[in-house]
A = this chain, B = another copy of it.
Amino acid sequence: VPKVTQEHRDARRQQILDGARRVFSRYGYDSATVVRLEEEIGLSRGAIFHYYPSKREIFAAIAIEDSRRYIDLLVDRGLDEAVRAMAGESREWLGVVLETQARLRHDEEFQRRMAEESAGDQQRVIDWFDAGRRDGTLRDDVSALDLGRFATMMINGLALRVAGGDETDIDSLLRLVRDAVSPRA
């Protein structure tokens, strides 16, 4: 009769996600073996698979959590702040962003999973860009959809840089990005 609280369960799930995030980021999905997950998380195989049915599901949960966090950042604080925040972010998070892209490319099942889960999130991004176009802070000769695509490309490209360990002059970068999306003189 174990009888544990919901809080305990939630804490365990978060413990698993946090440990797993570090491992996925450090080694990549395939080299993130279950043994490494056990070590980093501090729980046994059995416990981990008690909360999540498979390694893939653990990764999906992390991917969704982090993707949502990135969109919140953009919508709440704006592109400028979002880029700046990301550049200063932990390499763990960025590593997961990129690993997610890799899974999306190669794992159809995972692709479906994420499409379902993040449909609403995509819309929030487009809405945000649309609002910017209407209030004059963003150029309106390019569609909100294309602006969104551009922003995502930037972010992904940036993640690739930072996660790869390369130096980046964030101010120069922001100047270029701002000039790309601002209304033309």
Binding site for B on A (CB under 8 A): 2, 26-31, 46, 95, 98-99, 101-102, 104-106, 141-143, 146-147, 149-150, 152-158, 160-161, 163-166, 168-169, 172-173, 175-177, 179-181, 184-185
Interface residues of chain A: helix, strand, loop or mixed (majority): helix
Task: Take A105-B163, A156-B156 as given contacts and tell me if A184 and B173 are in contact as well, using a CB distance cutoff of 8 Å.
Answer: no
Q: Are A176 and B150 in contact (CB under 8 A)?
A: yes
Further contacts, 18 of them, CB under 8 A, given A153-B173, A177-B180: A28-B30, A28-B102, A28-B106, A98-B105, A101-B160, A105-B165, A142-B172, A143-B172, A147-B176, A149-B168, A149-B173, A152-B161, A153-B158, A156-B160, A156-B161, A157-B157, A179-B179, A180-B180
Alpha-carbon gap, A2 to B46, bound state (A): 10
